[in-house]
Structure 1
Amino acid sequence: MNYRHAFHAGNHADVLKHIVLARLLALLGKKDAPYAYLDSHAGIGLYDLHGDAASRTGEWLQGIARLWAATPRPALVEDYLSVVAALNPNGTLRYYPGSPELARRLSREQDRLQLNEKHPEDGRLLKDNMKADRRVAVHLGEGWHVPRALLPTREKRVLLLIDPPFEQLDEMERCAQSVKEAIGRMRQAVVAVWYPIKDLRQLKRFHQGLEKSGAPKMLRAELYVQSPDSAERLNGSGLAIANPPWGLEEELRELLPWLAQLLAQGESGWRLDWLIEESAG
Structure 2
Amino acid sequence: MNYRHAFHAGNHADVFKHLVLARILTLLTRKEAPYAYLDSHAGVGLYDLTASQATRTGEWQQGIGRIWDAPERPALLNEYLDCIQALNTPEQLRYYPGSPELARYLSRPQDRLYLNEKHPEDGALLKENMRQDERVAVHRGEGWHLPRALLPVAEKRVLLLIDPPFEQADELTRCVQALNEAIARVRQSLVVIWYPIKAEAQLKRFYQDLGQSTAPKLLRAELWIHPTDNAERLNGSGLIISNPPWGLEEELAELLPWLATQLAQSQGGWRLDWLIEESKPQTSPNSPARKPRTSQGIKR
TM over 0.5: yes
Does 81-90 or 39-48 show the bigger shift?
81-90
Does 125-134 or 198-207 show the bigger shift?
198-207
What does residue 107 of structure 1 align with? 107
Deviations 1:203-247 (A, max 9, x none): 111111111220000100000111111000000001000000000
1:1-281 to 2 correspondence within 5 Å?
4-281=4-281
Q: Which amino acid aligns with 1:46?
A: L
Deviations 1:107-139 (A, max 9, x none): 000000000000011000000000000000000
Q: Which amino acid aligns with 1:61?
A: Q
Deviations 1:155-206 (A, max 9, x none): 1101000000011111111111110111111110000000000132221111
Does 252-261 or 149-158 show the bigger shift?
149-158
Distance 1:22 1:181 in 2: 24
Measured on the aligned residues, the alpha-carbon RMSD in Å equals 0.9
Q: Which amino acid aligns with 1:66?
A: R
Give, in angstroms, the shift of residue 153 of structure 1.
1.2
Q: Is this contact kept in 2: 1:35–1:156, CA < 8 A?
A: yes
Distance 2:233 2:61 in 1: 17
Would you identify which runs of 4 or more consecutive aligned residues in structure 1 move more than 4 Å? none
Tell me the SS of whatever aligns to 2:44.
coil
Tell me the SS of whatever aligns to 2:113.
strand
Q: Is this contact kept in 2: 1:85–1:91, CA < 8 A?
A: no
What does residue 293 of structure 2 align with? none
Q: How many pairs align?
A: 280
Distance 2:241 2:249 in 1: 10
What does residue 289 of structure 2 align with? none
Tell me the SS of whatever aligns to 1:153.
coil
Distance 1:4 1:122 in 2: 8
Tell me the SS of whatever aligns to 1:268.
strand
Give, in angstroms, the shift of residue 152 of structure 1.
0.9
Tell me the SS of whatever aligns to 2:160.
strand
Unaligned runs of 5+ in 2: 282-300
TM-score by length of 1: 0.98
Tell me the SS of whatever aligns to 1:169.
coil
Tell me the SS of whatever aligns to 1:30.
coil
Unaligned runs of 5+ in 1: none
TM-score by length of 2: 0.92
Distance 1:213 1:271 in 2: 20
Distance 2:193 2:13 in 1: 12
Does 207-216 or 21-30 show the bigger shift?
207-216
Tell me the SS of whatever aligns to 2:239.
strand
Distance 1:3 1:166 in 2: 9
Q: Is this contact kept in 2: 1:23–1:76, CA < 8 A?
A: yes
Distance 1:251 1:4 in 2: 31
Relative contact order higher in (CA < 8 Å, ≥ 6 apart): 1
Tell me the SS of whatever aligns to 1:274.
strand
Larger radius of gyration: 2
Deviations 1:25-62 (A, max 9, x none): 00000000000000000000000111111111110000
Distance 1:90 1:67 in 2: 15
Distance 1:37 1:109 in 2: 13
Distance 2:59 2:205 in 1: 28
Distance 2:159 2:28 in 1: 9
Give, in angstroms, the shift of residue 3 of structure 1.
5.3
